Amino acid sequence: MNLQRRDVVLTLGLALLLGVGCGPSDGKYVVTGKVTLDGQPIPNGEIRFVDSTNAQNVDGAAIEGGKFNFETSARQNRVEIRASKESPGMTTDSGIDPGQKTPLIVEYIPAKYNERSELSAEVSAGGPNVFEFKLESK
């Protein structure tokens, strides 16, 4: 092996070694978990981790079948959970065609879990960043 080729191989090997041993290169860590309301998985919704020291730092993902998975920075977070559904028998004007009605969509997660959230989660570099949120409607 000539000198240049050996240098390239050593440089690539060193870069790979440094990349593997130091965790995520962008400072983000995988967060997973479950969300239930009154013991039942939330079928569809949204979860957001809001940095407790800087509310402009927000990461989140969809909740599907009561489960979520996304990446965020290591920090203390205020957690917001939202979900909405059609309100049976309730309609509203469509806004497109006068007189046409569309189903009324309502937020059904109590405000203490979203806009006035009392939930928190600390994401750490050492993990495991697995969280379970058991919400109650009353």
What pLDDT does 88 receive?
73
Strand, coil or helix: 15: helix
Half-sphere exposure in the Cβ direction for 56 (13 Å, CA): 0
Token output for 114 = 């979203």
What pLDDT does 95 receive?
61
What pLDDT does 93 receive?
65
User: Which residues on neighbouring strands pair with residue 70, listed in sequence order?
Assistant: 31
Measured distance CA(96)–CA(113) in Å, rounded: 33
pTM of whole model > 0.75? Answer: no
Ordered by start, the domain boundaries in the chain are: 28-135
What pLDDT does 97 receive?
65
Half-sphere exposure in the Cβ direction for 63 (13 Å, CA): 25
Where does 28-135 sit in CATH, by number? 2.60.40.1120
What pLDDT does 10 receive?
44
Q: One digit per residue, pLDDT tens: the chain, 138 residues?
A: 444 554 544 444 444 444 443 445 478 999 999 999 999 999 999 999 999 999 899 999 999 999 999 999 999 999 999 999 887 776 666 566 666 777 778 899 999 999 899 999 999 999 899 999 999 998
